[in-house]
Amino acid sequence: MPLPRVGSAISTAAPTYCHMALASLIAANRLHFLVSTNVDGLHRKSGVPDHAISELHGNMFQEKCTECSVTYNRAEPVRAQLSKGSIEAPTKFLAVHGTGRVCSCGGQLADNIIHFGEAMPLEQTQRAVTHSERGDLALVLGTSMRVSPACDLPSPVYRRNNGRLVICNLQRTPYDRYCALRVWARSDQFMQLVMEELAIEVPQPDPSYWQSQLSPDTSSSSSPSSSSSSSSSSSSSSSSSSGSSATAPSDAASAVVPDHENPIGMVDPSRSCPHVEAAAGSCGLRSADHFGRVLGERCGACGTSDELWVCIECSAVCCGRSVHAHMVAHHAATAHRLVLSLADLSFWCYSCESYVTSRHLAPLFNAVHVAKFGDDAPPLHGLPL
Residue 294 DSSP label? H
- What is the spatial distance between Cα 2 and Cα 326, in angstroms, rounded to a whole number? 11
Coil, strand, or helix at residue 178? helix
Please state the length of the chain. 385
Amino acid at 222: S
Where would I find the beta strands (DSSP E) of 45-184? 53-55, 62-65, 71-73, 98-102, 108-111, 137-141, 164-169, 181-184
Virtual CA dihedral for 71, 72, 77, 78, nearest 10 degrees?
-70
61 in Cβ contact with 238 (< 8 Å): no
**CA 236 to the chain's CA centroid:** 27
- What is the spatial distance between Cα 361 and Cα 368, in angstroms, rounded to a whole number? 11
DSSP H stretches of helix in 98-185: 122-134, 155-159
Amino acid at 196: E
Return the closest-CA partner of residue 342 out of 171, 192, 208, 159.
171
Return the closest-CA partner of residue 119 out of 56, 39, 37, 55.
56
Task: Based on the residue annotation, tell me whether 51 is a catalytic residue of this protein.
Answer: no
Catalytic residue among 57, 275, 336, 369: 57
Coil, strand, or helix at residue 362? helix
190 in Cβ contact with 183 (< 8 Å): yes
The sheet with strand 317-319 has its strands ordered as 317-319, 308-311, 338-341, 347-349, 354-355
269 in Cβ contact with 356 (< 8 Å): yes
DSSP H stretches of helix in 83-121: 92-97
User: Known catalytic residues?
Assistant: 57
